[in-house]
Structure 1
């Protein structure tokens, strides 16, 4: 039983579908009711739409309660929701600072805090089987490195990596695993909107492909597959780690 924030978006919806393919039951947490409900309807009893702004602690608690009420437990939280931004510090308005911090860092923190009681309970129940419930974060290659003209976004994603590593230390004794996925550029509608601020998105995308040693960039299925692996028992000894999914750019 899982909650995926940003579950109606590109990476989120791909991951929801992959989790359901693997037999999971998924709460699709998103503010986009039209897309979220359509996805939940398409997946039938395996999915539940949760109207959730992860920057609102009441929404976070309600989402967790809905999943536990529906399916009896919570095994996986995937903090995937977030927004992109390009620009130097001088180019980012005051309101955008608050918006980015809320969407990319405060939201995952609040959602995790709401989910931890249920996850800790599952951790104790699963301890004898030597497996764990899981918290995952979508961070970024820019949570590990830096590039020009994406300063505030880089700050938020470094914060996500720091949050993940701190939680891994705190929650390991509770038998809750915590990891992050660090994608590079992923071809989604969010990516196109973000890249358009730099120039022609297709030109930037092609340049990014050429920069990658594999000469390709990740798509949503690559990130979804990484999430399925990290959430699975096959990854039961992986904890406090960043899995980079970027075609080798930051290898």
Structure 2
């Protein structure tokens, strides 16, 4: 089945497919601060439905979803180019807040602040910092905040172990095996912390899933990278394991 997804900045999408059964369910869910506008199946608008089941996944299908910010509602969201490193650590913040916010206030956790939309900030002292973004719509009065953690060390370390910040989530997962001969069945277990409420798996072979834990069959030999994105009402996180699965 071929699929096409649009509006993914506002919509979280995925495909649920049980191996061996010729049925697949497309799932579209509006992200916080956004509305699901419409879903199109094979060129036909079917309305703002949250799921659509295909009974014949051997045939070619196209499906797309569209969304928009919820009018008057602000949702704070941002990404950053790194969450840990040695001093001096320069962090670039990319503001992706929804709801047409007109002003912003950043607190970098080290006593310094900014009102820029996409600030760049340098940490000069080791420590664990909670960064807070407040996004505001001055016309509607809407306001939302989001915080994420940054760990700054005095020198390079193999892997960071930041102290959790309230509301912060960390993406993590493991597989029951990482090497096998095609077709190989692999089970993934979500080990994320911080109480995520939604999951999006990219299994590296063109298949995705929104299940928390899943079992997947790789049919074709190759090396596959696996990515898990998680989120809750406050924040989001993701992890990608490059070349994680080897199918012989």
* Common topology (TM > 0.5): no
Larger Rg: 2
**Which structure carries more strand by proportion?**
2
The two structures have a TM-score, normalised by structure 1, of 0.25
**Bigger RCO of structures 1 and 2 (CA < 8 A, at least 6 apart):** 1
**Which structure carries more helix by proportion?**
1
The two structures have a TM-score, normalised by structure 2, of 0.25
